[in-house]
Amino acid sequence: MKSDASTIESRPTPEPHKVPDDTVLVIGGGPVGLMVASVLAYFGVRSIVLERNAEPTRWPKMDLTNARSMELLRKIGLADQLRELGVPSDIPYTVLMSTGLSQGSAFASWDHISVDQYRKKIESTNDGSQPAEPYLRVSQNIFETWMRDVCQENPLIDLKYGYKLESTHELEQEACCTVTELGQGQREYISSYVIACDGASSRCRKSLDIDLDGGPTEASFLLVHFKSRDLEHLHKQGRFWHLFMFANGTFGGAVISQDEKDIFTIHYPLLNDIDESSISSEDAIYTVLGGLHEPYKIKIDEVLVRSTFRPSIAVAKSFASPDLRIFLAGNAAHQNIPTGGYGMNTGLGDAFDIGWKLAAVINGHAQNGLLRTYETERKPIAYQNVQRSGVHMGVHLKAVQLLGDRPELIESSSPEGISLRQTLSQHYEENDGENKDMGIEMGYRYDSPVCLPDLTEKKPEWEPRGYLPTTWPGSRAPHVILSDKSSIFDHLGPFFTLVEFQDKEAEQSRSRWLITAAQALNIPLKLTQLRGEALAAKIWERPLVLVRPDGHVAWRGDHVDTLSQASSIFETVLGYHC
């Protein structure tokens, strides 16, 4: 019987799909793409998200949503929902360094406080140095599944599965994406703006001929994701979040507790071009757990998935197409090695930055030049975070050097063994910035043409470890708990907020001209007047502080004397002169 069904290849190509001008096309429905869509929706902008895979990733990948990312999620009303999916709030996040569970011992540790302890620290250390939200341990596969559900329930987000990007290019005032709908064939999508969140091997980036600065590292790992309730043996040296192992003359791999229940992942180093297919998942687990000594067997309930992984350290040489129609975000723009947990967290920062700026342009509140500052602001942060993740990895590699060619000495009770243990313990104590470098996580600043510098004083020093609370323009505005126990962040509006500090009720407002200018320029602006908040006023440094939608300071000052001056401020911070 002759079939009249056409093959996919022979079907006529359908007419291009024109995306409405008020809708953004997002390529890739991983965490960053879903965050972009959520940020756009928060500002009332529609999006279409095209994702190839019908099912979310099975891999845990990133396992810590840092404090700054939690603040961004709080801004769009999602932080509390996510907390319900994380590890219990009373569990501390302990990192152990060990020579193995069979005969070895833990010789150093990093102790990260629990979420409950972190909240108490935020309340008791109300000096602007603390975040509004503690970090949260939650695996990326859980995060992604949850974000899918969030986006599917949002009427402003059209989430489509089974769509594979083939190529993209700019048109005049638009962008064109050629997409294969699995089982249907190819179709072109024409959109005013495209945000490419399609991962490290981004076809968007390659279509635009944007090169990477950097690339894959020499190291590669076998990752095995498994379930085990054999906690008595796994916790032989104490409960852990991360367990770093050391073997003969090399880094012996790592074990990650994903949920504090029964799900773990091991990173098994593939040395000397070992064929990963020759290693069983069980043997890889036992070998990593054994460390310097013989393999350490535990009861494995289930191997969930395994894969190989070659870390990459790279930053795209451009984050946008020439005419600012296509933007790269997340792994499409930068790739980090795991140490420090900067990968997805940096991507969430990208998502918020391009999200609010695109929304401002589409909603008619900003000029298109504002979009040029996406790369200006986020590219230096990508380099900064990539570099710092390398510093953190260097801490572990230095430990391998300290162990030298006689690592068994660390188990010895001889003077040499005692000295080696003390040296390694001190090394890790002095280099504990991994997940503690708050200058990286919260203190990054945007040196941007849409952040007006304060010409009345010198720019504060920045360093990666410590976070200095400041409202220097470009900085994240400091978090302070006000006298009524509310967070100052909860007094910020959706778009721009002018925070005005006043000593007393009768004091004349300094905000008149700024309010008038915002109204004249059709800029949504919330005025937050805080009276008698001496502590917050001191930490925020100026009586007038203009805060952007992402919580960064756009401008600060003591007064504005004319409408012209106020208008110039808003025109600058919204990209009129870019």
Please name the residues in contact with 34: beta carbons below 8 A apart, sequence gap of 6 or more: 49, 144, 147, 148, 150, 151, 159
Measured distance CA(26)–CA(332) in Å, rounded: 12
Q: Is residue 117 helix, strand or coil?
A: helix
The dihedral through the CA atoms of 560, 566, 570, 571 has a sign that is negative
Measured distance CA(201)–CA(331) in Å, rounded: 8
Measured distance CA(101)–CA(99) in Å, rounded: 7
| Domains of the chain and CATH, by start | 17-86+136-212+314-379 (3.50.50.60), 445-573 (3.40.30.120)
- Please check whether residue 180 is in contact with residue 186, taking contact to mean a CB–CB distance below 8 angstroms: yes
Q: Could you tell me whether strands 212-216 and 221-227 are parallel, antiparallel, or unpaired per DSSP bridges?
A: unpaired
CA terminus-to-terminus distance, the chain: 65
Question: What pLDDT is stored for residue 8 in this prediction?
Answer: 41
Q: Is residue 454 helix, strand or coil?
A: coil
- Whose CA is closest to 366, among 57, 574, 73, 103? 574
Measured distance CA(540)–CA(262) in Å, rounded: 45
Question: What pLDDT is stored for residue 250 in this prediction?
Answer: 83
From residue 344, give the alpha-carbon distance in Å to each of 301, 337, 478: 29, 11, 23
Full DSSP string of 410-434: GG--SHHHHHHHHHHHHHHHH---T
The dihedral through the CA atoms of 401, 404, 410, 413 has a sign that is negative
Both tokens assigned to 429: 């104590």
Measured distance CA(144)–CA(60) in Å, rounded: 10
414-427 burial: b if 16+ Cβ within 10 Å, else e: eeeeeebbeebeeb
| pTM: predicted TM-score of the whole model, two decimal places | 0.94
Question: What pLDDT is stored for residue 6 in this prediction?
Answer: 37
Q: Is residue 256 helix, strand or coil?
A: strand
Partners of 17 in the β-ladder: 189
Low-confidence ranges of the chain (pLDDT < 50): 1-11
Measured distance CA(85)–CA(259) in Å, rounded: 10
Both tokens assigned to 378: 């986020």
Q: What is the CA radius of gyration of the chain?
A: 26
Q: Starting from the edge strand earliest in sequence, which strands make up the sheet with 312-316, in order?
A: 212-216, 312-316, 334-335
Segment 378-418, tens digit of pLDDT? 999 999 999 999 999 999 999 999 988 888 888 899 999 99
Question: What pLDDT is stored for residue 363 in this prediction?
Answer: 98
- Please check whether residue 542 is in contact with residue 557, taking contact to mean a CB–CB distance below 8 angstroms: yes
Please name the residues in contact with 306: beta carbons below 8 A apart, sequence gap of 6 or more: 222, 223, 224, 225, 281, 284
Both tokens assigned to 427: 């090394």
Both tokens assigned to 109: 């540790």
- The C-alpha angle with vertex 196 and arms to 193 and 202, in degrees rounded to 5, equals 145
Residue type, 91: I
Question: What pLDDT is stored for residue 1 in this prediction?
Answer: 37
Question: How many CB atoms neighbour CB 293 within 10 A?
Answer: 17
Question: What pLDDT is stored for residue 507 in this prediction?
Answer: 66
Output the furthest CA–CA distance in the chain (Å, rounded). 91
Measured distance CA(58)–CA(68) in Å, rounded: 25
- Please check whether residue 464 is in contact with residue 433, taking contact to mean a CB–CB distance below 8 angstroms: yes
- Please check whether residue 359 is in contact with residue 43, taking contact to mean a CB–CB distance below 8 angstroms: yes
Question: What pLDDT is stored for residue 506 in this prediction?
Answer: 58
Question: What pLDDT is stored for residue 509 in this prediction?
Answer: 83
